[in-house]
Amino acid sequence: MNAVVAKPQILVIDDDESMRFMLQSKLFQSGYNVTLAASGSHAIQIFQSGKEFDLILCDLKMPLKTGIDVVRFLRDQGIQTPMIIVTGFPERDKIISAAQMGVQDVLVKPVRHQELMKMVRNKLGIDDAGEKQAA
């Protein structure tokens, strides 16, 4: 009997509603399940509820709790989920802080589809064939 392979679960954190909608559409079309968080606080609440993910895409600049706050929370909780930072302006000190806390993958907006999907596959350990099958 073949095992049913569950779709990877991705959490998208961005305070921009259109951005969330676009990324959800893009990732869903590529065969991933997507959960959305509108803020750092919302993302932290989701983790505190016990939900688990295979990958996190996180904006840096958000009101109240920023992307760095999310990274810090995950590190303090010992949550090892891979994360990609997707930011409109890669401020050097923020990137360094994130890297010091173990998040080294940064994409600068606007990110092209191929570049984003390649990095997503890479972080999820999926090869090119994996995406083609899901499309």
Partner 1 sequence: MPAKNKRPKISVLHEEIPEHVQELMHLTRLAEMGRLSASVAHEINNPLMVAQGFAENIELMLDKEHFPREEIRVQVLEIIKACQRMSRIINKMNRMSRNQKLRLHIVDVAEVALNAVDFLKVQLAEIDVQLEFEFDRPVPIKCDAVQIEQIILNIMSNAIYALEQNAHDRRIKISFREAGDWEQLVIWNNGPVIPKPIQKNLMTPFFTTKNEGQGTGLGLAVSKAIMQVHEGDLSFNSNEEKGTEFVLSFPRPAHNPWEAVERQNASPIVLIDRQPNYRMTLQEKFRLLGFNVSSFSDYTEGVAWAIQNGVKSIFIDVIPGHSESVKFVRQLRHELGPTALIFTMSNYPSARDMKNDLKGAGATDCFEKPVHADNFVYILKLLDSATEDFNDALKKLAA
List interacting residues with partner 1 (CB under 8 A).
Answer: 15-19, 21-23, 25-26, 29, 38-39, 42, 61-64, 87-89, 91, 108-113, 135
Q: Which residue has the tokens 């802080």?
A: 97
Q: Least distance in Å: CB of 1 to partner 1?
A: 30
Q: How far is the CB of 58 from partner 1 (least distance, A)?
A: 14
CA dist list (Å): 129 to 6, 33, 35, 126: 16, 18, 24, 8
Q: Which is nearer to partner 1, 17 or 128 (CB)?
A: 17
* Shorter beta-carbon distance to partner 1: residue 37 or 56: 37
CB 110 to partner 1: min, Å: 4
Q: Nearest distance from residue 3's CB to partner 1, in Å?
A: 28
Beta carbon nearer to partner 1, 63 or 78: 63
Alpha carbon 112 to its chain centroid, in Å, reads 15
- Alpha-carbon gap, residue 81 to 78, rounded angstroms: 9
Kindly write down the DSSP assignment for every residue of 47-107, as one continuous string. HHTT---SEEEE-S--SSS-HHHHHHHHHHHT----EEEEESS--HHHHHHHHHTT--EEE
Cβ closer to partner 1: 21 or 52?
Answer: 21
